[in-house]
Structures are given as structure tokens and as C-alpha cells.
């Protein structure tokens, strides 16, 4: 029955033979490895994203006044809505992770070299599409982070020379972040980027089939334009195996494991957000992007200000151009990572840089703790047995918001140095100068403190030294008491 | 496929025959049609770029609502809105009344990357929660990564009310007037 139906269809479509041929195309025996499963896994998760995305679109309200409520409805009222949201949110994280592993593997194995340059190029487009989906998806999770994330995007775009203001309005769809902005990102996330994604996935897979799967790189086996195709042909005809089932079985196992892991993760971790309502009038907010853009957020905090505009605008362009250029820079030669030390170093350094920036971003030491001044207690040891003047200083440290940027006993902001051992580093005169004039990353407090208050602050800070370390003294005239 | 197509198309293009003429005409028509189609589509998508009158005067309330030597948060409804903008069109700003008729009205957005700055009355500073930018009470840059002081709205006092010229998100490319 099934066979007959298949035959009936194939008689009209006539694609059976080519599908069979594609499935059984010979692959190098060495490439049926567990290292080669990540592309297929990414593809599988992408298909899941399409399915859960369509499910979400049946309930999500893509307008600025309703989107946030519809997310809450999905989380709490819609049967299994929480789980579909969890699958979609974690699916996005999985997909980014898999794309990165796939990219690293392809890079290490030299799979982008001749004749597979175009496959790599299409893959870079797919990477950009994935990141584009992640960013637009984060905007559709229309909460405070989404709102201020758009603000950050607008602020970066606004730095474009000459046309900055106009670029901002095109991105936002209007003069402010509002209904038109969400609709624009909805269109990108649901129509534009998926269309590009599908087109390039087709191209990517077509090229993989046409050019064959990359063989396991052997040190010393050099890629030459003149001979590679013949060598590869010889390899797969003499020592090849049919893709199905020889390589496909490992793909299938890996896909099954990844999907199971995704379902379990989603079930345990639950949906991601939304956090607070996207009401710009709620300014008690600490905007943070999702982890895959956290490293950019960190980089923007750490870049020296004079390089900032230039690097923000040109950095991504240069990085993307370099990614595209890799197969044209080194299209031939050694494939094995054992013979490409610089490539390995480059890859490790890139991943380490991004990893460290993400780690820094998770606790953002450069961000003041906006509630520390009123909400974080003073360590008891720092106020025990102190004079009234010193206690007055301890109160001022809190009341003047010093604690938002300076920690005491490990608690408080980390923007400035911890105050626990200030006295060992600065003499009283230096403390006064620093408070009144600021400097480094500190504002000048001169206008906002009375001399009596400065006096109290210095008295307190002078007690800030470990018991066995004396406070710093001026080397010029150590005997003279501070005067102000 | 390729071999079959080549001998057919080459002579067809080479000869000034009716077929070649029709092919060129077809290409020309399609090029014109594509342009006719693309212009309105691009115009539609790029329309926010055109300079509409986004900005207009709006009242922030009675002058007495803003005590002297104080900085207060004020919230206004953006003059250009759509019915489905919801709360996103409620824009906050900081109003500083130095004394008497001397006001300063600051945008909420940090000049670094647009995060909402918060006013701390005790230390007389605006602090930014994102990367630790700090501004003095007059809006001048105090420290941190911001490249300039806070954006300021133009304002006027009329009929006992404080008016500001508002309507667009301030950025370095287009700071408020
Ligand atoms: S956005 Fe304010 S310091 Fe970066």
C-alpha cells in the first residue's frame, strides 16, 4: 500500500532517484565521526524553533500595548504556554551554542578550504541570521530589558556620523521606542530573517551534498587547487561509505540526545522572562542583555571612551568581514589543526575573550549598585568603638551614595576601589583631594559636601586599615596633621 | 541541460531577430516594473527617516509643582503616538528648578548608551545603572564613559506652566534642541 503510493507519487514527481542518490552519496570513512554531528543538530533545533515559534505566534500579541500581557498570559493562563515559551527560549540558547561549536569544528578541521569556501560563506550568513533571530527575539520578549536594549541599539546607531539621527528613526520606525518599533522587529523575526535563513540553509546543504563532506584532516595532507578534487574523488570511491546509514546514524543519535536535553532543560528551567513591564517611566531598572550579547555589553563598558564610537561602528563590520574572508585568506594548505598552531591560538583566544567578557557581564563590576547606599548594612566591625566623628563619617558614606560605587566588607558597588583599606593607600590629604576633586572614574564631590562632612568622612576613612597595617603617611612632612 | 541550452540561446541573442528583440524588451519592462515597485516599498519602509514634525511643545505641569533647588521626575505623553503604543509613549524626564524662573530639563537617557539615569538628591548626582556614568546636578558630565553631559530639552514658561519641546529619543546623532 505505502510502497504503491510512493511509486505513484514518484512516477509523477520523479525525484525518488535523486533523493536516493543524495542519501547514499559516498562520504569519506573518516568523516563519519562524532565531531561531524553539530551541523545536523543545529538544523534539528532550528526546525523545532520554527514549530514552537508558530505555536507562540498563535497567542502572542505583537503590539506595544499588549505584547507584555500576552507573554504573561502564555506563562500563566495558556495551557502549556509556559512550556512552549521555555522550549523556544532555551531552543534559542541551544541553537547559538550549537552554531558556535559547529563553527569551531569546521574552523579547526580546515573544512572551509578549497573547494568549500562558499559553504563557509553561507555558514557565516547563517551565523549572523541566528544572532539576528536571538536579538530580535529578545526584543519580542517585550520587557524592560527589551525596551532599554533597544535604547542601547539606538544610542549606538545614533553615533553614525552625519546620518545618525535618521538611522535611529529607521531602526525604531519612528521618533521613539514604541509600537512601530516592536512591529518592525516582529517583521524581522517572523518574516525577513527566517526567509533568509531558509534560503541559506538550502544553499548550505546543497553545497555540502555537491562538494562532499570534508575528510578527517591528516597532518601533512596538503590541499592543492590542482589536485584536491581528484584526491577527494579517489578517497570516497575507494574508501568511502554511503552517507545513509553510515554517517547518518551518528547524526540521528546526536539529534535525539540534543532534543531530549532541550526538552528536559525547558521543563526544569521554565520560560525565560519576561521581567518588568516595558514602561519607560519605571526607571528603577538595571538593563542587561541576554548572555549572547552580554559580551558586547561588557566590551562597551570597558572600551576607552575615545575609541568607543569608532570601535562600536567599525568593530562588528571588520569582525564579520574577517569571518567571511577566512577561506580566501587561507584557502589551501594544511587542514589539520596539529599543523595550524596560529589558527588554534586564534580560536582559543576569541572564545576566551568572549567567555571572560560574558563572565564579567554577569556581575558587571562597572555598574553602580543603585540601592547599596540605602539597603546594604555597614559591617559591624567598622563602627565598633569609633568616635562620634568617625561614626558620622560612616553614616555619610551611606548617605552620600559612596557605597553605590565603593564596597565595604565585600558589599556595595565595585565601580571604584573597595574602601576597606583606603587608609593604607592614601594619606588624609590625598583622601580630601580625591573626595573634593574626584578623578579616575569618580565625580568631584566638592560642591555637595560641607567642610564638616569632609572632616567626618576623612576621620572614618582613616580607620579603614587592617589592624596590622598602619595608615599611609605623607613622605614630605609626616608630622603635620591634615588641614583643610 | 547546459549543453542543450547553449546552442539555442547564443545565436538567438546574436541575431537581431524578433526573438532577441522580445527578450530585450521583456528585460527592459521588468527592470522598469521592478523600479516602479521598489520605490514605493522603500519609501514606505524609510518613511520614518523623513523629517516630520515629530517635535512639539508640551506642558509638564504647573510651575509650582517644581520646588526650587530640587530635581523632580516628570512624565509626559509623547506628542506623536499611535493608539497601540500603550505605556511606551509615556516618557520620563528630569526637571531641575535652580531658582525662580531658571529651569533645566534633562532627558532620562544617558549620553553613553541611553540607559535611564537616576537622580540622587543627597549627593547631587545623576548615576547611570549601566556602565557607571555620573553627571552633576546641572547635567554636566562628571565621570565614567559618557562622552558629554545630559541631553537638555528646550523649555519655556507660559501660562504658569513649564513647557518643553519634546517628541524624539535623543541620541548623539540628534540630541535635543
Ligand atoms: S549607558 Fe550610561 S554609562 Fe553606559
**Number of CB pairs, chain A paired with chain B, less than 8 A apart:** 202
Report the number of distinct structural domains present in chain A. 2
Are A357 and A405 within one domain? no
Mean pLDDT score, A201-227: 91
C-alpha distances in Å from residue A101, one per residue of A94, A142, A337, B41, B90? 11, 29, 15, 39, 43
For A11-44, the pLDDT digits (tens) are: 898 888 888 888 888 888 888 888 999 999 999 9
Check CB contact under 8 Å for B129 and A368.
yes
- Compute, in angstroms, the gap from residue B132 CA to the centroid of ligand 1: 6
pLDDT at position B27 over 70: yes
Residue A217 confidence (pLDDT) above 60: yes
Q: State whether the beta carbon of B149 lies less than 6 angstroms from ligand 1.
A: no
B78:A170 CB<8 A: no
A276 and chain B: CB distance < 8 Å anywhere? no
Give residue-wise pLDDT tens across range A339-388.
Answer: 999 999 999 999 999 999 999 998 888 899 999 999 999 999 999 999 99
Cell of A35: 565531531
Residues A433 and A347 in one domain: no
Judge: B48–A156 Cβ closer than 8 Å, yes or no.
no
Please, which contacts does B10-18 make with residues 24 or more away whose CB atoms are closer than 8 Å? none
Q: Which three cell numbers stand for residue B73?
A: 521626575
Mean pLDDT of chain A: 92
A76 and A195 belong to one structural domain: yes
Give the list of residues 6+ apart from residue B68 with CB closer than 8 angstroms, or none: B97, B98, B99, B100
Residue in the block written with cell 580607620: A463
User: In A, which residues are within 8 Å of B129 by CB distance?
Assistant: 285-287, 367-368, 370
User: Does a cis peptide bond (omega within 30 degrees of 0) precede residue A364?
Assistant: no
* Residue of A65, A301, A440 lying closest to B84 (CB–CB): A65
Interhelix angle A291-302/A144-157, rounded to 10 degrees, is 50
Q: Give me the residues of A, 390-409, that contact B with CB < 8 A.
A: 399-402, 404-405
| H helical segments located in A60-192 | 67-76, 81-108, 117-140, 144-157, 164-172, 179-187
Question: Which chain A residues are closer than 8 Å to B134 by Cβ?
Answer: 443
- Among A293-297, A345-349, A478-482, which range has the highest average pLDDT? A345-349
- Given A322, A343, A363, the domain boundary residue is A363
Residues listed for chain A: 484
Share of chain B above pLDDT 70, in %: 89
Q: Is B144's C-beta closer than 6 angstroms to any atom of ligand 1?
A: yes
- A318, pLDDT greater than 60: yes
Instruction: Give the confidence band of A181 by pLDDT, cuts at 50, 70, 90.
Output: very high
Mention every residue, 6+ apart, whose C-beta is less than 8 A from residue A6. A16
Cell (9 digits) for B95: 526637571
What is the largest distance, in Å, between two alpha-carbon atoms of chain A?
Answer: 105
**Distance, CA of A145 to CA of A82 (rounded, Å):** 20
Residue of chain A whose alpha carbon sits nearest to that of B148 = A305
Ligand 1 center–CA B115 separation, angstroms: 6
Contact assignment for B84 to A63 by CB distance below 8 Å: yes
Q: Best interface-test mutation with B: which of A180, A307, A368 has the largest number of B CBs within 10 A?
A: A368
- In the predicted model, is pLDDT for residue A64 greater than 50? yes
Which domain CATH number covers A452?
1.10.760.10
Residue A479 lies in a domain: no
Tell me the pLDDT tens digit for each residue of B86-134: 999 999 999 999 988 999 999 999 999 999 999 999 999 999 999 989 9
Is A11 a domain residue? no
What is the mean predicted confidence (pLDDT) over A90-103? 97
Predicted pLDDT of residue B4 = 45
Pick the closest to residue A127 from A182, A226, A236, A204 (CA basis): A204
Element (H, E) at B89: none
pLDDT score of A234 more than 60: yes
Question: Are A385 and A334 in a shared domain?
Answer: no
- Please say which residue of A363, A397, A432 terminates a domain: A363
Chain A's closest residue to B134, CA to CA, is: A443
Mean pLDDT check: name the lowest of A87-91, A358-362, A386-390, A479-483.
Answer: A479-483
Read off the C-alpha cell for A339. 599543523
User: Ligand 1: does its nearest atom lie under 6 Å from the Cβ of B116?
Assistant: no
Mutation site for B-interface testing, chosen from A176, A300, A311 by largest number of B Cβ within 10 Å: A176
Who's near B74: CB < 8 A, 6+ residues apart? B60, B61, B66, B92, B93, B94, B95, B105
Are A343 and A403 contained in the same domain? Answer: no
- Which residue pairs, CB below 8 angstroms and at least 24 apart, start in A238-243? A239/A28, A239/A29, A240/A26, A240/A27, A240/A28, A240/A29, A241/A26, A241/A27, A241/A29, A241/A32, A242/A23, A242/A24, A242/A25, A242/A26, A242/A27, A243/A22, A243/A23, A243/A24, A243/A25, A243/A26, A243/A27, A243/A213
Q: Which residues 201-230 in chain A show a CB within 8 A of chain B?
A: none
Looking at 3.90.1010.10, 2.40.160.40, 3.40.1480.10, 2.102.10.10, the CATH number of the domain B56-166 comes to: 2.102.10.10
The answer to whether the Cβ–Cβ distance between B123 and A287 falls below 8 Å is: no
Asked if residue A126 lies in contact with residue A197, where contact means CB atoms within 8 angstroms, the answer is yes
Q: Is B167 a pocket residue for ligand 1 (Cβ < 6 Å)?
A: no
- Cα dihedral sign, A295-A301-A303-A308: positive
More reliable by pLDDT, A51 or A246: A51
Together in a domain, A264 and A183: yes
User: How far is B155 from chain A, CA to nearest CA, in Å?
Assistant: 19
CB B110 within 8 A of CB B133: yes
**Which residue of chain B comes nearest to A312, CA vs CA?**
B113
Structural domain including A426 reads: 372-462
Comparing CB atoms, the residue among A177, A305, A368 nearest residue B132 is A368
Question: What CATH number is attached to the domain comprising A135?
Answer: 1.20.810.10
**From the list A176, A370, A444, which residue is nearest B127 (CB)?**
A370
CA distance B161 to B60: 7
Interatomic CA distance for residues A256 and A42, integer angstroms: 12
Q: How confident is the model at residue B3 (pLDDT cuts 50, 70, 90)?
A: very low
Is residue A314 within 8 A of residue A89, CB to CB? The reply is no
pLDDT band at B58 (very low <50, low <70, confident <90, very high): very high
Whether A350 is in a domain gets the answer yes
Dihedrals φ, ψ of B87, to 5°?
A: -75, -15
Residue nearest to atom 1 of ligand 1 (CA): B113
Whether residue A246 is found in the same domain as residue A264: yes
Contact criterion met (CB < 8 Å) for B48 and A180: yes
Alpha helices, DSSP H only, in A330-340? none
- What number is the ipTM of this complex? 0.89
Residues A359 and A381 in one domain: no
Sign, CA torsion A225/A331/A335/A99: negative
pLDDT band, very low/low/confident/very high, at A479 (cuts 50, 70, 90)? low
- Cβ–Cβ < 8 Å for A141, A272: yes
- Interface contact flag, A442 B123, Cβ < 8 Å: no
Based on the fold, state whether residues A101 and A208 are members of the same structural domain: yes
Query: How many A from CA of A174 to the centre of ligand 1?
Result: 23
pLDDT confidence of residue A110: 93
C-alpha cell at B109: 537617557
Q: Which of A113-122, A401-410, B13-22 comes out lowest in average pLDDT?
A: B13-22
Domain check: are A130 and A178 in the same one?
yes
At B94 the three-state DSSP class reads: strand
Check whether residue A258 and residue A315 sit in a common domain: yes
Residue A123 lies in a domain: yes
Percent pLDDT > 70 in chain A is 98
Q: What is the DSSP string of A231-263?
A: HHHHHHHHHEEEIIIIIHHHHHHHHHHHHHHHH
Contact B89, A182 (CB under 8 A): no
Task: Please report, for residues A437, B28, B37, B118, B119, the alpha-carbon distance to residue B139 in angstroms, rounded to integers and kept in the order given.
Answer: 17, 59, 48, 12, 11
Angle between the N-to-C axes of helices A428-437 and A451-462, in degrees from 0 to 180, rounded to the nearest 10: 130
- B162 and B155 Cβ atoms separated by less than 8 Å: yes
| Pairwise CB contact (< 8 Å): A175 & B46 | no
CA of B120: which chain A residue's CA is closest? A401
B-chain CB neighbours of A372 within 8 Å are none
CA of B131 relative to ligand 1 center, distance in Å: 5
* H/E stretch holding A111: none
pLDDT at B7 over 80: no
Domain ends where: A363, A382, A414? A363
3-class SS letters over B108-173: CECCCCCCECEEECCCCEEECCCCCCEEECCCCEEECCCCCCCCEECEEEECCEEEEEECCCCCCC
Q: A301 and A386 share a domain?
A: no
Nearest-CA residue of chain A relative to B82? A179
Q: All 3 cell numbers of residue A271?
A: 520560560
**Cα nearest neighbour of B124 on chain A:** A448
A222 vs A91, higher pLDDT: A91
User: Is the pLDDT at A286 greater than 90, yes or no?
Assistant: no
φ and ψ of A242, to 5 deg:
-65, 140
Are the beta carbons of A301 and A364 closer than 8 angstroms? yes
Judge whether A377 and A410 are in contact, CB under 8 Å: no
Half-sphere exposure of A112 (CA within 13 A, CB side): 23
Indicate if ligand 1 lies below 6 Å from the C-beta of B139: no
Amino acid at each position: 500500500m505505502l510502497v504503491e503510493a510512493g511509486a505513484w507519487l514518484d512516477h509523477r514527481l520523479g525525484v525518488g532517484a535523486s533523493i536516493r542518490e543524495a542519501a547514499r552519496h559516498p562520504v569519506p570513512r573518516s568523516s563519519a565521526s562524532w565531531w561531524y554531528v553539530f551541523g545536523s543538530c543545529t538544523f534539528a533545533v532550528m526546525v523545532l524553533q520554527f514549530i514552537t515559534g508558530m505555536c507562540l505566534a498563535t497567542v502572542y500579541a505583537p503590539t506595544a500595548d499588549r505584547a507584555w500581557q500576552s507573554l504573561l498570559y502564555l506563562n500563566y493562563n495558556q495551557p502549556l504556554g509556559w512550556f512552549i515559551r521555555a522550549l523556544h527560549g532555551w531552543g534559542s540558547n541551544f541553537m547559538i551554542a550549537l552554531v558556535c561549536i559547529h563553527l569551531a569544528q569546521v574552523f579547526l578541521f580546515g573544512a572551509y578550504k578549497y573547494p568549500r569556501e562558499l559553504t563557509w560563506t553561507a555558514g557565516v550568513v547563517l551565523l549572523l541570521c541566528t544572532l539576528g533571530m536571538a536579538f530580535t527575539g529578545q526584543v519580542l520578549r517585550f520587557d524592560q530589558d527589551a525596551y532599554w536594549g533597544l535604547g542601547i541599539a539606538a544610542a549606538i546607531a545614533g553615533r553614525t556620523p552625519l546620518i545618525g539621527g535618521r538611522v535611529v528613526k529607521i531602526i525604531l520606525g519612528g521618533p521613539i521606542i514604541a509600537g512601530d518599533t516592536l512591529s518592525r522587529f516582529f517583521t524581522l523575526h517572523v518574516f525577513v530573517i527566517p526567509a533568509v535563513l531558509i534560503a541559506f540553509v538550502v544553499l548550505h546543504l546543497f553545497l555540502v551534498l555537491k562538494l562532499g563532506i570534508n575528510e578527517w584532516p591528516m597532518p601533512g595532507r596538503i590541499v592543492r587547487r590542482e589536485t584536491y578534487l581528484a584526491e577527494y574523488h579517489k578517497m570516497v570511491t575507494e574508501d568511502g561509505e554511503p552517507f545513509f546509514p553510515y554517517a547518518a546514524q551518528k547524526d540521528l543519535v546526536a539529534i535525539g540526545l540534543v532534543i531530549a536535553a532541550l526538552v528536559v532543560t525547558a521543563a526544569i528551567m521554565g520560560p525565560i522572562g519576561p521581567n518588568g513591564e516595558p514602561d519607560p517611566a519605571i526607571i528603577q531598572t538595571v538593563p542587561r542583555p541576554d548572555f549572547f550579547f552580554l559580551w558586547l555589553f561588557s566590551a562597551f563598558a570597558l572600551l576607552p571612551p575615545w575609541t568607543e564610537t569608532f570601535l562600536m561602528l567599525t568593530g562588528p563590520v571588520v569582525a564579520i568581514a574577517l569571518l567571511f574572508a577566512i577561506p580566501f585568506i587561507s584557502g589551501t594548505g594544511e587542514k589539520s589543526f596539529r599543523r595550524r598552531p596560529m589558527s588554534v591560538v586564534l580560536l582559543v583566544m576569541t572564545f576566551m575573550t568572549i567567555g571572560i567578557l560574558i563572565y564579567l557581564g554577569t556581575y558587571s563590576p562597572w555598574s553602580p549598585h543603585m540601592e547599596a547606599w540605602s539597603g546594604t548594612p555597614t559591617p559591624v566591625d567598622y563602627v565598633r568603638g569609633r568616635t562620634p566623628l568617625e561614626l558620622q563619617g560612616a553614616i555619610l558614606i551611606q548617605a552620600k551614595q559612596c557605597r553605590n560605587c565603593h564596597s565595604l566588607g565585600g558589599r556595595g558597588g565595585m565601580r571604584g576601589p573597595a574602601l576597606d583599606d583606603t587608609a593604607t593607600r592614601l594619606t588624609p590629604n590625598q583622601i580630601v583631594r580625591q573626595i573634593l576633586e574626584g578623578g579616575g572614574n569618580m565625580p568631584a564631590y566638592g560642591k555637595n559636601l560641607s567642610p564638616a562632612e569632609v572632616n567626618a568622612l576623612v576621620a572614618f576613612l582613616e580607620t579603614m586599615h587592617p589592624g596590622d597595617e598602619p595608615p599611609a603617611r605623607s613622605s614630605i612632612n609626616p608630622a603635620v596633621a591634615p588641614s583643610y | 541541460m547546459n549543453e542543450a541550452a547553449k546552442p539555442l540561446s547564443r545565436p538567438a541573442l546574436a541575431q537581431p531577430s524578433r526573438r532577441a528583440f522580445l527578450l530585450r524588451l521583456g528585460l527592459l519592462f521588468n527592470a522598469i516594473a521592478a523600479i516602479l515597485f521598489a520605490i514605493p516599498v522603500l519609501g514606505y519602509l524609510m518613511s520614518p527617516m523623513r523629517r516630520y514634525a515629530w517635535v512639539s511643545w508640551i506642558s509638564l505641569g504647573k510651575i509650582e509643582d517644581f520646588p526650587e533647588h530640587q530635581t523632580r521626575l516628570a512624565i509626559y505623553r509623547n506628542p506623536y503616538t499611535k493608539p497601540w503604543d500603550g505605556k511606551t509613549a509615556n516618557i520620563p524626564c528630569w526637571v531641575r528648578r535652580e531658582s525662580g524662573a531658571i529651569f533645566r530639563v534633562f532627558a532620562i537617557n544617558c549620553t553613553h548608551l541611553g540607559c535611564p539615569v537616576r537622580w540622587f538628591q543627597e549627593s547631587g548626582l545623576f548615576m547611570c545603572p549601566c556602565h557607571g556614568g555620573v553627571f552633576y546636578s546641572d547635567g554636566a558630565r562628571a565621570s565614567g564613559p559618557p562622552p558629554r553631559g545630559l541631553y537638555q530639552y528646550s523649555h519655556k514658561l507660559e501660562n504658569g506652566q513649564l513647557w518643553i519641546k519634546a517628541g524624539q529619543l535623543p541620541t548623539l546623532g540628534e540630541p535635543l534642541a
